[in-house]
Amino acid sequence: MRNELSGFKEGPVFIDANIFVYHATDSKYTESATAFLEKVENNEIEAFTSPSVVDEAAYVLIINKGLEILDSKSPRKVREKLEKDRKFAQKCYSVLKDFIGYVKSLETLKLLEITGDDAFRIYDYGTAYLLHPKDALHLAVMKRYRIFDIATNDGDFERVEWVRVWSP
């Protein structure tokens, strides 16, 4: 069952990539994600994420920028051009200056380490809860740090009985 993100009040919460992406882009979830992250900024919420989440959000932002530049709907075209055209790549990567700067500015957001053991749990959590590997990795980190709430719009986490999902 999903809970309304605006209703999250206390306790540690893990922030998934889509919350950062919604904040950085224009979508129907932008307002909710931004309001939530403002609570993190104001130290009203004990928030955590991982380098894997930062990587995932960065990738989405880069691809979205490439789609916009190329006026295309094909992520594959963007990936191919990123590997061959330095100027195009620099334009796409330019969105990361603001994104990385913003994440670093969230002084109360704690970036959790990923261990080898977390990576090896991808199989366990992926098969137990039918998760993609990146989500299984997030779950392994959450479990190790005893974080049972996640801010995400990814309904796959609803299959995990020990996690409360908070969505925009």
pLDDT band (50, 70, 90) for residue 10: confident
CB 117 within 8 A of CB 136: no
- Give tens-digit pLDDT for 30-87: 999 999 999 999 999 999 999 999 999 999 999 999 999 999 999 999 999 999 999 9
CATH class of 2-167: alpha beta
pLDDT of residue 74: 97
| Residue bearing tokens 């990795």 | 137
C-alpha 164/C-alpha 98 separation (Å) is: 30
Q: Sign of torsion, CA 161 153 43 9?
A: negative
CB 46 within 8 A of CB 12: yes
Q: Does pTM top 0.85 for this prediction?
A: yes
CB atoms inside a 10 Å sphere around CB 120: 10
Higher pLDDT, 9 or 144: 144
